[in-house]
Amino acid sequence: MADIALAPAAESPAQLRLARRLSAGARCAIPVALLLGIGFLAPLMAIFGYAFATPRSFDVFRSFTLENFATLFDPANTVWVSFVWSCGLALTTVAILAVVAYPIAYGLNVVFGRWSPFISVLFVFPLFVSENVRLYGWVLFYIKNGVLDGTLKWLGLSGGPEVLFTPGITLFGMVYTYLPFMLFPMTLGLALVPRDLIDAARDLGAGRLFIWREIELPLAMPGILIGMLLTFVLAIGATAEAKILGGQSIIVISHDIEIAFTYSQNWPLGSAMAVVVTFFIGGLTLFALSKLDLDRMLGRR
């Protein structure tokens, strides 16, 4: 924009048109556009193509059939069970995380003071270790004669609870894995609440609970909702927790997709599943973002 305004008047109309067609912003965006085109859009198109190919074939873009989708939506098939498990686990994870992360986010902003950066690092630190390695760590912790069970027995108590390879431990793993993704947007959201407003509300007679309900929560909501959306989208695609900690006691949708691509060698069915899940999450996200008017919530409009 700026360089157009500063362009010398002598420039020909053709040059001006070119400059207007490719603004500075657009030119800066070329590298990322190329990367997204090749690395993101192209595979997505391939998956989309496979979803309409003849089942158990590799006839991508050469055949067209809706048979894969018909198989998916056939009630006799158990794919919907996996899908319900994924949604249910993701929703429960989000709900638990919202309750667990809020006090920590509040503490990071208001209570912990100069310890806040250190405590933040503690929550980020596990992200430096591969997720699978961390989950196997939990297996070692909970497994029979593992850290928990062994220690309790050594202390002369009856062994630890047999929680491994259950849906419950899958949920635990997901809450554990996605905590930072809820915590940091939430912390940011709470940081956006000016202290003046809390002081003013208190000065006008409001108690803590009233201030939380009327001022703090609504103003921190953008951060909270972004954290919820982020963790939901990540959690609905989670597989490792169900496989490693859950020991396949339940099958989640992304595990089904993986099986279709690997053991079953049925790429078209896997692609159809991927397309349905993608559209579901994409639609949900767009819906949430359209309802989530950030500018209004931040009081900018």
Q: Which residues bind other proteins (CB under 8 A)?
A: 194, 196-197, 199-207, 210, 214-215, 218-219, 296-301
Closer of 11 and 199 to other proteins (Cβ): 199
Q: Least distance from C-beta 215 to other proteins, angstroms?
A: 6
CB of 289 to other proteins, least distance (A): 18
Q: How far is the CB of 174 from other proteins (least distance, A)?
A: 32
Whichever of 56 and 208 has its CB closer to other proteins, that residue is 208
Q: For other proteins, give the closer residue by CB, 211 or 257.
A: 211
| Shortest distance in whole angstroms from residue 191 CB to other proteins | 15
Tell me the closest approach of the beta carbon of residue 269 to other proteins, in angstroms. Answer: 47
Is the CB of 3 or the CB of 203 nearer to other proteins?
203
**Which C-beta is closer to other proteins: that of 117 or that of 299?**
299
Label residue 146 exposed, middle or buried (CB < 10 Å: 0-12, 13-18, 19+). Answer: middle
Cβ neighbours of residue 79 under 8 Å, at least 6 residues apart? 72, 253, 256, 273
Between residues 8 and 299, which has the closer beta carbon with respect to other proteins?
Answer: 299
Q: Which residue has the tokens 């310890």?
A: 115
The smaller minimum CB distance to other proteins, of residues 51 and 220, is found at 220
CB of 163 to other proteins, least distance (A): 43
Q: For residue 257, which of 53, 45, 86, 58 has the smallest C-alpha distance?
A: 86
CB of 71 to other proteins, least distance (A): 48
Q: Measured between alpha carbons, how far is 222 from 164 in angstroms, rounded to an integer? A: 36
Q: Which is nearer to other proteins, 146 or 218 (CB)?
A: 218
Provide the minimum distance between the beta carbon of 110 and other proteins in the complex, in angstroms, as a whole number.
Answer: 15
Kindly provide the b/e burial profile for residues 227-255, where b requires at least 16 CB atoms within 10 angstroms of the residue's own CB.
Answer: bbbbbbbbbbbbbbbbbbbbeeebbbbbb
